[in-house]
Structure 1
Amino acid sequence: MHIAFLTPEYPHSKIKHSGGLGTSIKNLVVALVAKGVKVTVFVYGQPKSEVFEENEIVFHFISDKKYRLGKWFFYRKHLQNYINSVVKKEKIDLIEAPDWTGVTAFINFTVPLVIRFHGSDTYFCHIEKRKQKFKNRLFETLAVRKAKGFIAPTKYAGEVSAELFGLHKEKIKTIHYGLDLTQFNNEYPESFEKGLVLYIGTIIRKKGVFELPEIFHKVRNQFPEAQLVLIGGDSGDVATGNKSTWELVKQQFYEKDLEQVSYSGKMPYAEVQDYIKKANACVFPTYAETLGMVTIESMAMKKAVVNSNIGWAQELMQDGKSGFLVHPANHEVFAQKIITLLSDTDCNAKMGNEARLYVEEHFDITKKVAENINYYQHLIK
């Protein structure tokens, strides 16, 4: 079997940007190759075209192109022609693409197409109650209608996407993202910085970052030595048009609290893991996800987590056992759960261990890869 992935991002030194979408694809690609599946990765929108093989994965970087008019159509046709030529030459059996921006709209592949609902603009606008551009909704709807199969990382994301795009829920296969658990080790979970609260993720409104100042203030009222560290790239704010969400969030902190807040920006993932190990607790007050990779990555490293309780989050952990689930706007309860983890060492350790066990049972890539292979084989027949 030969599977191809079409994606705008992938974690690689030659690619400038990659987020959770790229990480989830890479985790699956590496696991597929380990199972003997041949894999090709098409990464579009790159500065230059390049074809190379690395770790038994064939990469096709497809350069971005300029058109006087109609790039939305002509660039997709360029992708179609290029990919179909490789499909024929390399005997690719199936192509998987993300729902985001509807890249496969107007593209006709010669093999079955699977759309994975990583989180479309349509989905996030619905979750965030934002008005969506007509063009984005059109492209994503056209892209979805061209697919033969659909995969969602959570049942919630699949059901919401089905409703938004007019699909039968039964047509969507739920397969959680997987982690290579050998890459997430914490040999000394009992060793951490007391009072260190860690947030990892883009500094953007939909991640609930505007809830953190009030939550942290309530934490410090009972645990004055608490520190808050934020890691992740800054983003513009859709509500105000401000170029820096962090600058807006920073203004919301009480002056004394801000003295114990540190924003580290983006950093290499090895350093992020070091911070996870140092954290007393990890917090994710997000309003919009399809799953939340950083949550399960923190859990895999035996960290107690306080997470949003919205929709998809119900599939990430058992509330009160392998983590805490709280609505981000409920500042009092969110803060109390953090305080529990900072002050009760036994509870913190037990929850961290349960978090790891939950990830091993539900998000181990060696288990998830088999589910993906079975679904691909079903579509290829």
Structure 2
Amino acid sequence: MREIAVFRHNLFRISEPFITQQAQQLRRHKPLYLGRLRYGAPPAGAASLALEDLGPGWPLPRIAWQMLTRNPGPYQRLLGDRRPSLIHAHFGIEGVYALPLAQRLKVPLVTTFHGFDATLSTAALLASPAWANYPLFRHRLARSGDLFLCASSFVRERVLAMGFPAARTHVHYIGVDCEAIRPRAPDEETPTILHVARLVEVKGAQYLVRALAALPARHANARLVIIGDGPLRRSLETLAGALGVGERVRFLGALPHAQVLAWMRRAAMLALPSVRTRTGRVEGLGMVLLEAAATGVPAVGSRIGGIPEGIVDGETGFLAPERDAAALAGRMADLLDDRALRLGMGAAARAHVERRFDIRRQTETLEDLYDVVLSSRG
């Protein structure tokens, strides 16, 4: 089998299971995870290489130098005699850094754009040392990259607006494992509103807390469970207390993926009230929407970015205007009021992901795309 280098600077983050979920579904190609640092363990039996493996002098100063220069030499030393047939970079920033390595190795480069890499303003990117090279060298990636995959149609529109070639830029949903995630039984449901996200502005959690406080008194037993961590956690806890719903909101922090899925089985709904941030960042799709749908759980979300590709309004859940806590509360109340509606939307959501987002079918398509790229290179 041909070896594919799956390139992500920060490997195995707990918030990014979709990268390994896709790579582990490869059947005609073998993944080799390649990056700077590991933030978790690789999948069982999977091979991974990180710059931190080069020795005790590498972790900070030399990695910082590599970040500045985009020099592919350290990755070549890391690979040794290994020669991947293709590099698949996740996020446009990684694509910019993987390009010199792909050119040095004379192998194709595939880049997947997920969201912030297609929406965050140039000023915000330049303000971050970790991201500053991206807007500076993005045009080179657009010119020389072999294939650009986008996590949603919305993301593709934004990538094309940045100047990437339409002929080499395609929508490719990563998808979810519809065999591993089975629909839950109706009696597993509890009056839980579930939010799974990093606690940053783009996820809109403050509007969800406000919506909980705005629910009619008949839903006083509804609870909000927030899985994820981030810089806004303390302010969200303070807000919940100020609105009188502190005892109805549970902040569980970041949890392993299996525990997230277990909480989904208990949820009456999943909520993703994302917003457009001051820096232009917008939700690319929201993989958690697809996982909830696979579980048979309806969702409420903002009508923004790629979310409408994951929620069919009025069929698999409801959409509401961004930053509108009252409208969000109304849609949450509609679901809480009607068990038959929740169950029907949950079943429709499951059918929707089976049709459009099954990871096995999506990964078969990905491997076909790999083959086309490799064949075009001879």
Match for residue 371 of structure 1?
365
Q: Report the CA distance shift for 1:170/1:308 in structure 2 as closer, same or farther (over 3 A).
A: farther
1:210: Cα distance to partner? 2.1
**1:138 corresponds to which of 136, 139, 163:** 136
Match for residue 279 of structure 2?
none
CA distance in 2, matches of 1:224, 1:76: 57
Do 1:99 and 1:144's aligned partners in 2 also have CA atoms closer than 8 Å?
no
Match for residue 72 of structure 1?
67
**2:51 corresponds to which of 42, 62, 72:** 62
Match for residue 199 of structure 1?
195
**2:294 corresponds to which of 289, 296, 300:** 300
CA distance in 2, matches of 1:31, 1:158: 24
1:283-318 superposed Cα distances (whole Å, 9 cap, x missing partner) = 011122222111111111111110222131221132
1:147-196 superposed Cα distances (whole Å, 9 cap, x missing partner) = 111111111101101212x12333211110121222212441332113x1
Do 1:198 and 1:279's aligned partners in 2 also have CA atoms closer than 8 Å?
yes
1:5-25 superposed Cα distances (whole Å, 9 cap, x missing partner) = 1113444xxxxx3323xx222
**1:162 corresponds to which of 155, 160, 163:** 160
1:36 correspondence with 2:22: no
Do 2:205 and 2:273's aligned partners in 1 also have CA atoms closer than 8 Å?
yes
Match for residue 186 of structure 2?
189
Match for residue 55 of structure 2?
none
Do 2:227 and 2:255's aligned partners in 1 also have CA atoms closer than 8 Å?
yes
Task: Name stretches of at least 5 consecutive residues in structure 2 with no aligned partner.
Answer: 53-58, 276-281
CA distance in 1, matches of 2:11, 2:186: 30
For the aligned residues, what is the CA RMSD? 2.7
CA distance in 2, matches of 1:27, 1:316: 18
Q: Report the CA distance shift for 1:269/1:74 in structure 2 as closer, same or farther (over 3 A).
A: same
The count of corresponding residues between Structure 1 and Structure 2 is 352
1:83: Cα distance to partner? 6.2
Match for residue 231 of structure 1?
227
Identity over aligned pairs, percent: 21
Match for residue 147 of structure 2?
149
**1:314 corresponds to which of 308, 332, 345:** 308
**2:170 corresponds to which of 173, 190, 193:** 173
Match for residue 9 of structure 2?
8
Question: Residue 162 of structure 1 aligns to which amino acid in structure 2?
Answer: L
Q: Report the CA distance shift for 1:28/1:53 in structure 2 as closer, same or farther (over 3 A).
A: closer
Q: Report the CA distance shift for 1:120/1:217 in structure 2 as closer, same or farther (over 3 A).
A: closer
**2:237 corresponds to which of 243, 250, 265:** 250
Q: Report the CA distance shift for 1:349/1:229 in structure 2 as closer, same or farther (over 3 A).
A: same
Indicate the SS of the match to 1:182: coil
CA distance in 2, matches of 1:364, 1:216: 32
Match for residue 111 of structure 1?
107
1:48-73 superposed Cα distances (whole Å, 9 cap, x missing partner) = 9x9x9954x43223314523984424
CA distance in 2, matches of 1:131, 1:291: 21
CA distance in 1, matches of 2:324, 2:64: 48
Question: Residue 217 of structure 1 aligns to which amino acid in structure 2?
Answer: A
CA distance in 1, matches of 2:43, 2:201: 38
Indicate the SS of the match to 2:164: coil
Indicate the SS of the match to 1:251: helix
Do 2:72 and 2:100's aligned partners in 1 also have CA atoms closer than 8 Å?
yes
1:226: Cα distance to partner? 1.7
Match for residue 269 of structure 1?
257
Match for residue 97 of structure 1?
89
Task: Name stretches of at least 5 consecutive residues in structure 1 with no aligned partner.
Answer: 12-16, 236-244
Match for residue 344 of structure 1?
338
TM-score with structure 2 length normalisation? 0.84
